[in-house]
Amino acid sequence: MDKILLMLQLQADLNEATNGDKWTEGVTKNGKLINWRRCIYMECAEMIDSFTWKHWKNIDQEADWDNLQVEVVDVWHFIMSLAIENYSQTLRGQVEDLAIDISELQSFKKIDTEDELFAKQDETIYKIESIMIEALSRDSLQLEKLLGDFFDLVLMSGLNLESLYKLYVGKNILNQFRQDNGYKEGSYIKVWAGEEDNVVMKRVLEQDSGIKPDALYRELTKLYLALNKS
């Protein structure tokens, strides 16, 4: 349960730093409404573009599983945010209570014990679309169903709890770095020497799998400063 709790705590901290202490009430410190469901289904649409789903274009191109894994982590940010908001608004408990409940889900236990295994493209797309349907629903949130489908997707995309955790921590630090370097204001440079910052972050993690969050932040700072000097 330690990894799930830490991810939830990191996400809550990021949301508070970015949106203010009333973010669980569905509004930012600037008075802008927050819609985590919309974030989920819009990110899922981007996720599907990792595949060659178009029957009229690039039909022989291979699926981009690396990009899919990054997109899965992006969706995880929003699903955790929605879950924390839901627990707060329905008085189900705090982050610690949510972590306990998630750790008891059978779908979560699978990603904690099973090995990574890429699924077929069409099956993976159908699973992504199931998550979109749940996010698009106007009915009350079926949180356990949403989490179950997400953890199925984790395995289908070749991830498990350990790799999900590492990628999440990396993307969380990258998101903090973006906010600290003008992301909201529009001055942040997202493409670094021809590569998106997601790709750069993932490569840093792969080169040093034991890198600590603060060390990752420093490495991103060094690379970003070098980019701006060039």
CATH number assigned to the domain comprising residue 151: 1.10.4010.10
Per the domain annotation, does 225 fall within a domain?
A: no
41 — pLDDT class (breaks 50, 70, 90): very high
Per the domain annotation, does 61 fall within a domain?
A: yes
Per the domain annotation, does 193 fall within a domain?
A: no
Q: Which of 154-158, 181-185, 187-191 has the lowest mean pLDDT?
A: 181-185
Per the domain annotation, does 211 fall within a domain?
A: no
Range of the domain at 71: 2-163
Per the domain annotation, does 96 fall within a domain?
A: yes
**pLDDT(114) > 80:** no
* Contact (CB, 8 A) for 157 and 69: yes
CA angle, 198 then 204 then 208, to 5°: 145
Q: How many domains would you assign to the chain? A: 1
Per the domain annotation, does 8 fall within a domain?
A: yes
CA atoms within 13 A on the CB side of 39: 16
Residues 188-219: tens digit of each pLDDT: 999 998 888 988 998 898 888 778 888 999 99
- Overall pTM surpassing 0.75 (yes/no): yes
229 — pLDDT class (breaks 50, 70, 90): low
